[in-house]
Amino acid sequence: MAIRKVQSSMVWAVDYDPKGRGLEVAFKRTGVFRYEGVPPAVYRAMMRSDSIGSYMRSCVIGMYPERRVD
């Protein structure tokens, strides 16, 4: 996986493993979370979206199992 910094008021960086379908998101205020079972198409759509934070709220958070990463 390779961390990618993003332009977002909510998210600092993302990291995605297409083989394991794991999405790690570094939020600016709440830390790093890992979302399991995220399809590659969802990751690609998030990265193309006008607002990564809005996309996260509507299509990722609460839709996939998540855990805080220390």
Q: pLDDT tens, 9-52?
A: 999 999 999 999 999 999 999 999 999 999 999 999 999 999 99
The pLDDT value recorded for residue 40 is 96
pLDDT > 80? residue 1: no
Per the structure block, which two tokens stand in for 60? 């990722």
pLDDT value at residue 3: 81
Contact 8, 52 (CB under 8 A): yes
Q: pTM score, two decimals?
A: 0.91
